[in-house]
């Protein structure tokens, strides 16, 4: 078709013009269309157990339109929210069939004719996060992509948008903390928990941390202390009448973070000072939060909820990107760290089984493409 168009444009073989004159728009399209490379992707056609409904397939090239950017994905994590989307239980999820994944980092492969500020070779992350990062090539509008520093370790760039940003927003959005204040949290060994410890330490804020009683808890305590935790208690250590007697010289916490629920949430409430606030951002135990009447009447405690999704709309992208750049700078400088396991894309289902807890406690699984 391109050869025919060339001969027509140069005035030869006029019989072709009489036999067939393609519309002008189609001639332009033939010369201007940019296509992505074929892609390999993790897809699911229905909701259900992720290890049963996901499969790796080959996807055909797609057109890169004028405002689009084609990104070669470098790495993307498997987050609990990704699993919940596949299961169909997350409040916001793409329609099926869908490609899995919600955050990650990639390298610009090609750009549409109207794209400015991004060039092939740049590193970018989807900000706000965007579904479909578990594939080798992603084509989306330029407004989705945020250019980042290429000196940031790849696995941190891939995971910054969900867990570290959650930690930072919760520290900043609910209570005005100052150096010398304290916070208390459960789920302290999670990535959010580890980030809260380190971000608090940078600000001169003390952290009191609660972990589950399980094998290896002493080792977990030492790891958290090395990150900057002031105090780390197992739940069984807090089975006393006055938990605040354990704080020694630390001030009573003004702010608490709960991602577990049940008894672990009650322990947070016991630590909080008069007028303190507990923020709930998860419910790993799947047990409800029970609050005593006296906590409301005599301590005037506040209970709040946090859902990162509400803060990730396109109208808030500019604010979020500034915070993301700050977090990435900390990671690049070695001031923000957490344990991850980088797994080749060919071993996706092994990584998925680890993320699902089928192989015991495992670090965050990050897929490398």
Return the active site residues. 90
CA atoms within 13 A on the CB side of 47: 12
Instruction: Check the CA dihedral 192-198-204-205 and report its sign.
Output: positive
Block residue for tokens 């470098």 = 74
Residues in the chain: 369
Helices (H), the chain: 2-9, 14-19, 24-32, 50-53, 80-87, 154-159, 163-173, 191-202, 217-227, 262-271, 293-297, 317-332, 348-355
Block residue for tokens 């030492």 = 222
| Helix 191-202 × helix 217-227 angle, to 10° | 30
Q: Pick from 166, 164, 132, 130: which is nearest to 146 by CA?
A: 130
């Amino acid at each position: 078709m391109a050869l025919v168009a060339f001969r027509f444009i140069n005035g030869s073989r006029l019989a072709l013009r009489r036999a067939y004159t393609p519309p002008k728009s189609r001639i332009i399209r033939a010369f201007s269309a940019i296509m992505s490379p074929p892609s390999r992707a993790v897809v699911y056609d229905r909701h259900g157990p992720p290890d049963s409904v996901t499969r790796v397939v080959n996807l055909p090239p797609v057109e890169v339109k004028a405002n689009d950017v084609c990104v070669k994905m470098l790495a993307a994590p498997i987050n609990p929210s990704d699993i919940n989307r596949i299961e169909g239980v997350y409040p916001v999820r793409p329609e099926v069939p869908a490609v899995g994944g919600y955050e990650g980092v990639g390298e610009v492969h090609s750009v549409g004719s109207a794209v400015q500020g991004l060039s092939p070779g740049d590193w970018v992350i989807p900000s706000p996060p965007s579904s479909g990062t578990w594939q080798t090539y992603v084509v989306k509008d330029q407004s989705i992509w945020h250019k980042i520093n290429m000196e940031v370790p790849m696995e941190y760039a891939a995971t910054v948008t969900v867990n570290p940003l959650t930690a930072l927003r919760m520290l900043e959005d609910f209570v005005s903390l100052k150096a010398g204040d304290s916070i208390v949290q459960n789920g302290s060994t999670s990535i959010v928990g580890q980030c809260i410890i380190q971000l608090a330490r940078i600000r001169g804020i003390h952290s009191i941390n609660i972990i589950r009683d399980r094998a290896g808890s002493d080792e977990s305590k030492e790891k958290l202390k090395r990150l900057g935790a002031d105090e780390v208690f197992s739940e069984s250590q807090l089975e006393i009448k006055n938990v605040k007697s354990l704080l020694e010289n630390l001030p009573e916490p003004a702010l608490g973070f709960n991602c577990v629920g049940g008894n672990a949430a009650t322990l947070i409430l016991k630590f909080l000072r008069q007028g303190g606030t507990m923020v709930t951002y998860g419910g790993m135990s799947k047990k409800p939060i029970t609050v005593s009447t006296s906590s409301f009447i005599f301590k005037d405690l506040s209970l709040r909820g946090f859902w990162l999704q509400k803060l990730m709309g396109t109208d808030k992208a500019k604010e979020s990107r500034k915070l993301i750049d700050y977090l990435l700078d900390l990671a690049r400088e070695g001031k923000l760290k957490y344990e991850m396991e980088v797994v080749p894309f060919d071993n996706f289902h092994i990584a998925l089984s680890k993320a699902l807890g089928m192989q015991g406690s495992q670090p965050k699984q990050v897929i490398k493409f």
